[in-house]
Amino acid sequence: MVAILYTILWILAAIRFADRNWERYYPSLLFAALFNGVYELICYRYPLWQLEPNGLPAAMIPILLLTLLGMPLSTWVFLSNYPKQARILPQIYYIGFFTAIFVLLEFVSVKCGSITYHNGWNLLWSLLFDMVMFTMLRVHFRKPLIGLLLSIPYAGLLMIIFKVTFDKMK
């Protein structure tokens, strides 16, 4: 049920805070959804974190809500309000702010049983992941090819650290 609540919150946040010119952000929204879907595919049999149905009729519902709505909408809100000035400090604070939101939502989800951790993953890893993820979303928005090229070795590094080998993939 937490997945439904978060989806509603991201819809409301997008209505209130996102730029109406959504087409400008569309490639990065797809990028966020794609990488979330790739995680679900690669780590299907060896999850690092797992969304639990937590009262929903099917385990796939929270995954679909996150991949198709949560990630694209949160990315849209994030990119729509990214600091326009070239100064680095406001940008760091902004990424930190969104990282804190994601970590707080994840903490609540863990406490509610909507997310479980596996194979060495924990909230600290999520914090580090979210900082890099929001940085990559911004890079992708500005320079899509560079964002893609930087994300692939980062995903590979996480696969090495957490021993996500090809025999564990679906």
Q: What is the 3-state secondary structure (H, E, C) of the chain?
A: CHHHHHHHHHHHHHHHHCCCCHHHCHHHHHHHHHHHHHHHHHCCCCCCEEECCCCCCCCHHHHHHHHHHHHHHHHHHHHHCCCCCCCHHHHHHHHHHHHHHHHHHHHHHHHHCCEEECCCCCHHHHHHHHHHHHHHHHHHHHCHHHHHHHHHHHHHHHHHHCCCCHHHCC
Give the pTM: 0.93
The pLDDT tens digits of the residues spanning 7-41 come to 999 999 999 999 999 999 999 999 999 999 999 98
The pLDDT tens digits of the residues spanning 81-136 come to 999 887 999 999 999 999 999 999 999 999 999 999 999 999 999 999 999 999 99
